[in-house]
Structure 1
């Protein structure tokens, strides 16, 4: 057995240490990035919260494939009931907390809009569109409750939450079974190229039709980032893995120039995210010192702190702007230009980070955990309901 094959076997039979830590880092990156943007202090890389969202997206692509591979013997993907179980789990993972935070955000909309006006005036920026904070109409609410808002440009960015990525995520879940069936029919490389080419074609047509999304909430704009994570997960269960071919393709996909702001700096950071993700998840395949360093970082990212913050990452992501904007507006109102931007940022982070973490711990235990249990209950009931029919199929 080669070194690569031995490393893959180890991964199949073990927990991937760094995933909790990477989720935690992505959530903290988004929070800190927004703190920087709303206090007027520019720090390279950290001040780009959209790159933290890209890390979330890559993680999502990886985790969906990894979990699929773990369950494929028990839940064959060619069965439609497997798709229903998958969609049910994902719905109950996201919807309960999102629905609670959605109605809270809509209720607080006027207050949050006043806070944002204070921030934008102080930083000499154009005001946010008022409908993002003030639209409590039935059309907007229904679009968000059904997760269809990401498909409509004028509804995709219409609440005080950073929820555009949730609409994107739900579109990915809807398409995921079809992509995995395509992988079964073809292979990972050809499937990824075909799906990415289709995404590029859709983006090109959108450009011809002058269809513009205020945020990249439409799946074609970010499918290439999901594919990066999917490809790295696809390495794990290959009988004869070709890790560096998959890595090279992931790097090419991450370089596609759409789905957000692009320039040389952001291109290099996205490429670094792919390389770092590969190294941390598949460090057993790296030789010598590189493997040892990557392993040390991966193990650190699995400690109790990062595990807790990883569990809270979804709550942190959804809650942080509801706390951050009033706090930033208060600091600006009280101190204005008397504080330098770094000190203004430090004060805001010192208030926002622990507050959001505490609120996230509360919502995780009161909303997310019960929601996940409800999802498992529904899946189990669904499985029991269908089991007799499955057992009588051979006799038929």
Structure 2
């Protein structure tokens, strides 16, 4: 059993969360003149960051299920209290800020996909009850556009990926149950899930604005799952891992798979994290800078709040600045958004300590009591 907590993945969460924040800031405020177009194009690839989040989820949930023996009810209770309280708080705040959201996101001419945002607000208002029910189940991302338009992105657009996570949480124990039985069974499960993934993309290409239904993103969950299941084998190689990683990274560069490059690098960092592993000093320094130093890890711990709260923070801060400055001027608007990013960096830790951690503790207590009752 590998007992490492893989703290470098906490650092990876920080980088990915803030990649999304920066990308959304650019979508809202436009590209500042001092950012080269190539850099802007890269920074707005928030989908890459979300895909990496999905791989992390596959890895971490597999690690939890492999190392922890608990019943399904206890497991899903812990997962529910991990994600639902902060999620529903941010949804409620977003609904309260809907008037400000319209002024900030649907009126300035430079806002990315401005017309879509206005149409989404209109549809959200007309179908408020059904959108509310869908979001309360956290299955809104599985609903196709033909049934409920904008189902995955109303109220709080980034929450589409939270629905995707919840869908995975619900079935992850079943997937792992079969994958751990034998290599043949694992191969069959992977092949079946990938076939479902390809079929879903073929059948539902236009049904979802984002890959918010489980099978549309299943390949990334599988990468995380397989990485964790194979990790004991990789860990045995230890010092031999990083030379093998170099050609993999080169291949990913050739295929233009940014997710693959990031994931491979951080898997090497995970090996470096293991006790008794001697790696080149330059690799240890990279691991420290990008994965395990205290600052990065701290913002990684707060990454969930960062990811969910940054849009409401943008809306509130820009609206407040608009009372004193002319945010109809794009430069002033960009400064307001930059200030909102700084506010996000303050608000996220507060939400983590005041909302996330207390409810995580509640979920843990309920799960422990549930397990005690089941075993007693």
Q: Normalising by structure 1, report the TM-score.
A: 0.77
Kept in 2, the 8 Å contact 1:323–1:352? The answer is yes
Query: Of residues 302, 324, 330 in structure 2, which corresponds to 1:312?
Result: 302
- In 2, Cα distance between equivalents of 1:308 and 1:240: 26
TM superposition shift of 1:35: 1.0
Kept in 1, the 8 Å contact 2:306–2:344? The answer is yes
TM superposition shift of 1:350: 3.7
TM superposition shift of 1:344: 6.3
| SS in structure 1 of the partner of residue 292 of structure 2 | coil
Query: Of residues 81, 103, 106 in structure 2, which corresponds to 1:114?
Result: 103
Q: How does 1:1-396 map to 2 (within 5 A)?
A: 12-41=2-31, 42=37, 43-71=40-68, 74-75=69-70, 82-119=71-108, 121-123=109-111, 125-127=113-115, 128=117, 129-131=120-122, 134=125, 137-153=128-144, 154=149, 155-187=151-183, 188-207=186-205, 212-238=207-233, 267-283=256-272, 292-300=281-289, 301-325=291-315, 327=317, 334=326, 339=331, 345=334, 347-348=335-336, 350-388=338-376
TM superposition shift of 1:148: 1.8
Q: Which runs of 5+ in 1 are unaligned?
A: 1-8, 76-81, 256-263, 389-396
Q: Once superposed, which parts of structure 1, at least 4 consecutive aligned residues long, lie more than 6 Å away?
A: 239-244, 329-333
Task: Classify 1:100/1:331 alpha carbon distance in 2 versus 1 (closer, same or farther; 3 Å).
Answer: closer
TM superposition shift of 1:197: 2.0
Task: Classify 1:239/1:351 alpha carbon distance in 2 versus 1 (closer, same or farther; 3 Å).
Answer: closer
How many aligned positions are there? 347
- In 2, Cα distance between equivalents of 1:275 and 1:25: 15
- In 2, Cα distance between equivalents of 1:116 and 1:293: 44
Out of 55-64 and 123-132, give the one that drifted further.
123-132
- In 2, Cα distance between equivalents of 1:283 and 1:375: 32
| SS in structure 2 of the partner of residue 232 of structure 1 | helix
TM superposition shift of 1:44: 3.2
Kept in 1, the 8 Å contact 2:48–2:259? The answer is yes
Kept in 2, the 8 Å contact 1:283–1:291? The answer is no
Q: Normalising by structure 2, report the TM-score.
A: 0.81
Q: Which runs of 5+ in 2 are unaligned?
A: 32-36
Q: Which residue number in structure 2 is paired with residue 79 of structure 1?
A: none
What is the aligned-residue RMSD (CA, Å)?
3.3
Kept in 1, the 8 Å contact 2:141–2:164? The answer is yes
Task: Classify 1:67/1:49 alpha carbon distance in 2 versus 1 (closer, same or farther; 3 Å).
Answer: same
Out of 162-171 and 316-325, give the one that drifted further.
316-325
- In 2, Cα distance between equivalents of 1:376 and 1:315: 19
Out of 175-184 and 121-130, give the one that drifted further.
121-130
- In 2, Cα distance between equivalents of 1:110 and 1:344: 18
